[in-house]
């Protein structure tokens, strides 16, 4: 693309030239390919998120099935279920940070490049978005913290998996307890498995439940999420 020579000091002519260059075929073509490349990249990371979620669901389903298959299977098996799901959540949160980092570029292009192109309004092409995108291309960085990534994946998927495990765990204790459970002390004693004391089992159960609820609530209040619940003029989309 040819570079126009503009006399120094003519700020108005420089601004007009830059606005025109945005709609040059070469620039638009390069930005279009850049947008398609970034879209392909976030789709790959989005698929990787689905894989870890499927692993968590599959392992939980298998462990719950084994736990209820026979009375001899101790409820300690849900310890391993929680460990597996927490590990999958941590892996998925790490992958989600990469997904969110590249998704931010796509949103930047959609908001500052595609929207003005669709509306044919050059006045919207303002700000330092191009500088921010270039800096992120040179030195990529995450846009959210690890805790926020964990909270987002908890809110979307894993909170339901944890609730299912907790319900299955309590049901297993009531169904296959060695002695009848008719009050809270008897339930507390039923938590004991071999050399594992009841207080340790109760600590893991309550600690997991409180952690899941606290992280989900905290991130829900601090984070806006990827998309709003109700968009602007949503009734106009009922075509």
Higher pLDDT, 146 or 178: 146
Are 150 and 95 in contact by the 8 Å Cβ rule? The answer is no
- Tokens standing for 32? 């279009």
Distance CA 170, CA 173 (A): 5
State the pLDDT at residue 93.
Answer: 93
Q: Would you say residue 16 lies in a domain?
A: no
Are 152 and 225 in contact by the 8 Å Cβ rule? The answer is yes
3-state secondary structure of 178: coil
Q: Containing domain of residue 188, as a range?
A: 22-225
pLDDT at 220 exceeding the cut of 90: no
Distance CA 186, CA 180 (A): 8
Q: Would you say residue 123 lies in a domain?
A: yes
Mean pLDDT of the chain: 82
Q: Would you say residue 172 lies in a domain?
A: yes
Residues above pLDDT 70, as percent of the chain: 81
In this structure, of 117-121, 124-128, 209-213, the range with the lowest mean pLDDT score is 124-128
Q: Would you say residue 66 lies in a domain?
A: yes
Tell me the pLDDT tens digit for each residue of 24-76.
777 778 888 888 888 888 888 888 888 999 999 999 999 999 999 888 888 88
Number of structural domains the chain divides into: 1
The C-alpha angle 24, 29, 35, rounded to 5 degrees, equals 125
pLDDT at 2 exceeding the cut of 50: no
State the pLDDT at residue 211.
Answer: 93
Q: Would you say residue 134 lies in a domain?
A: yes
φ, ψ of residue 193 to 5 degrees: the values are: -130, 110
Q: Would you say residue 11 lies in a domain?
A: no
Q: What is the pTM of this model?
A: 0.78
Q: Would you say residue 231 lies in a domain?
A: no
Q: Would you say residue 199 lies in a domain?
A: yes
Residues above pLDDT 90, as percent of the chain: 31
The C-alpha angle 214, 89, 206, rounded to 5 degrees, equals 40
């Amino acid at each position: 693309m040819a570079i126009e020579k503009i006399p120094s000091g003519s700020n108005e002519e420089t601004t007009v030239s830059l606005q025109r260059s945005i709609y040059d075929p070469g620039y638009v073509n390069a930005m279009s390919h850049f947008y398609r490349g970034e879209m392909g990249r976030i789709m790959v990371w989005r698929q990787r998120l689905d894989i870890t979620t499927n692993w968590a669901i599959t392992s939980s389903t298998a462990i719950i099935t084994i736990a209820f298959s026979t009375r001899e299977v101790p409820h300690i098996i849900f310890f391993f279920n929680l460990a597996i799901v927490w590990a999958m959540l941590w892996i998925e949160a790490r992958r989600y940070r990469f997904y969110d980092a590249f998704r931010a570029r796509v949103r930047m292009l959609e908001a500052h490049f595609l929207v003005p192109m669709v509306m044919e309004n050059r006045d919207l092409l303002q700000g330092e978005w191009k500088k921010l995108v270039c800096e992120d291309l040179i030195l990529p960085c995450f846009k959210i913290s690890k805790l926020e990534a964990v909270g987002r994946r908890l809110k979307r998927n894993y909170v339901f998996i944890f609730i299912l495990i907790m319900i299955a765990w309590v049901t297993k204790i009531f169904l296959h307890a060695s002695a009848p459970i008719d009050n809270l002390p008897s339930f507390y004693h039923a938590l004991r498995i071999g050399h594992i004391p009841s207080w340790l089992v109760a600590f893991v159960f309550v600690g997991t439940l409180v952690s899941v609820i606290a992280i989900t609530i905290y991130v829900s209040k601090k984070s806006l999420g990827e998309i709003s619940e109700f968009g602007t003029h949503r009734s106009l989309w009922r075509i």
